């Protein structure tokens, strides 16, 4: 059973996390105000919120190696923090160990699974995540992995299976919207409705939901609306790299002069791909027939 189901006292904080309202998760909830059995779950969600906000070094300073050894949940958080802080190989090794020893733990499934997926070990991640018992966080990660593998069919199947046990839960709606964004056609509009509902609600809005709405608008060729949503996202988080990259894409499409910081992940990725292409190209010599 998902610990964040609607009959749990954790539902509000988890909903805020799912809506990408990470600052709210940190500011509006105190672990001490929850029942003792749920305090660890609250702490893990707050650590995850910190990681989403780019605070991996702070999480590592809070969860020492010795502290992590006392709890597989905290060990899983530390593993992801290590990865995000640049220690990718150590984090992946740690995640593999956690998966082997504590594979039934939902936080190990989701957080160690995230490390494995990001480290290029998607199949290991999927094997670990397959052990979940009704966790929508696990379902969301499975869907994301399948989409990264261009297996839209498997992602759609996973989202549909979650609908059977979670019905109209926000996590399921988001999974289906992600699938819709990869499916295209009429599915763009259906996905847009999900993102718009989050982005335009005063209690649900976040930079992430505004960015998602903007990307859906862009696919629907509604460029002015996309620019408006991205403007709102950047007003909330001026240095949000995803919003800056999407603004760059939108400006390029609409013919506006635009630039990105050189250390942007997108540019680094493009540079790496360009270099790999040039290396592959150098192995071949063109042949011309008279």
Tell me the whole-structure pTM to 2 decimals. 0.88
Q: What is the pLDDT of residue 278?
A: 84
CA 135 to chain centre: 15
From residue 234, alpha-carbon distances to 49, 179, 206, 250, 290 in Å are: 19, 25, 10, 14, 57
Q: What distance in Å separates the CA atoms of residue 40 and residue 35, rounded to the nearest whole number? A: 10
Q: What distance in Å separates the CA atoms of residue 6 and residue 58, rounded to the nearest whole number? A: 31
Q: What is the pLDDT of residue 270?
A: 72
Tokens of 149: 């593998």
Q: Which of 183, 111, 175 is nearest to 143 (CA)?
A: 175
Q: Is 117 helix (H, G, I), strand (E, B) or coil?
A: helix
pLDDT digit string (tens) for the chain, length 290 residues:
566 655 588 999 999 999 999 999 999 999 999 999 999 999 999 999 999 999 999 999 999 999 999 999 999 999 999 999 999 999 999 999 999 999 999 999 999 999 999 999 999 999 999 999 999 999 999 999 999 999 999 999 999 999 988 888 999 999 999 999 999 999 999 999 999 999 999 999 999 999 999 999 999 999 999 999 999 999 999 989 999 999 999 999 999 877 766 667 767 777 778 888 888 888 887 665 65
Q: What is the pLDDT of residue 116?
A: 98
Tell me the domains of the chain and their CATH numbers.
Answer: 185-280 (1.25.40)
DSSP assignment of 189-237, as one string? HHHHHHHHHHHT-TTT--HHHHHHHHHHHHHTT-HHHHHHHHHHHHHH-
Q: What is the pLDDT of residue 273?
A: 84
Classify residue 190 by burial, with Cβ atoms within 10 Å: 0-12, 13-18, 19+. middle
Q: Which of 80, 79, 22, 73 is nearest to 46 (CA)?
A: 22
Q: Tell me the residue length of the chain.
A: 290
Q: What distance in Å separates the CA atoms of residue 215 and residue 280, rounded to the nearest whole number? A: 33
């Amino acid at each position: 059973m998902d610990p964040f189901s609607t009959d749990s006292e954790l539902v509000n904080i988890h909903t805020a996390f799912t809506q990408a309202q990470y600052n709210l998760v940190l500011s509006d909830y105190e672990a001490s105000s929850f029942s003792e059995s749920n305090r660890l779950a609250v702490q893990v969600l707050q650590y995850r919120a910190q990681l989403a906000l780019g605070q991996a070094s702070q999480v590592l300073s809070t969860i020492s190696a010795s502290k992590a050894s006392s709890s597989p949940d905290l060990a899983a958080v530390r593993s992801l923090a290590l990865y995000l802080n640049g220690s990718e190989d150590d984090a992946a090794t740690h995640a593999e160990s956690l998966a082997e020893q504590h594979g039934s733990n939902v936080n190990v499934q989701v957080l160690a699974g995230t490390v494995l997926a990001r480290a290029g070990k998607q199949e290991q991640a999927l094997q670990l995540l397959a052990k979940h018992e009704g966790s929508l966080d696990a379902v969301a990660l499975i869907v994301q992995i399948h989409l990264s593998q261009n297996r839209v069919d498997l992602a759609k199947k996973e989202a549909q299976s979650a609908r059977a046990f979670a019905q109209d839960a926000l996590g399921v709606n988001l999974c289906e919207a992600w699938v819709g964004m990869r499916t295209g056609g009429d599915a763009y509009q259906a996905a847009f409705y999900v993102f718009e509902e989050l982005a335009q609600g005063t209690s649900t809005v976040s930079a992430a939901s505004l960015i998602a709405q903007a990307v859906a608008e862009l696919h629907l060729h509604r460029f002015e609306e996309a620019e408006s949503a991205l403007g709102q996202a950047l007003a909330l988080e001026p240095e949000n790299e995803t919003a800056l990259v999407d603004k760059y894409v939108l400006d390029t499409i609409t013919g506006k002069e635009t630039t990105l910081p050189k250390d942007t992940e997108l540019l680094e990725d493009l540079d790496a791909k360009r270099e790999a292409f040039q290396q592959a190209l150098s192995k071949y010599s063109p042949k011309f027939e008279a």
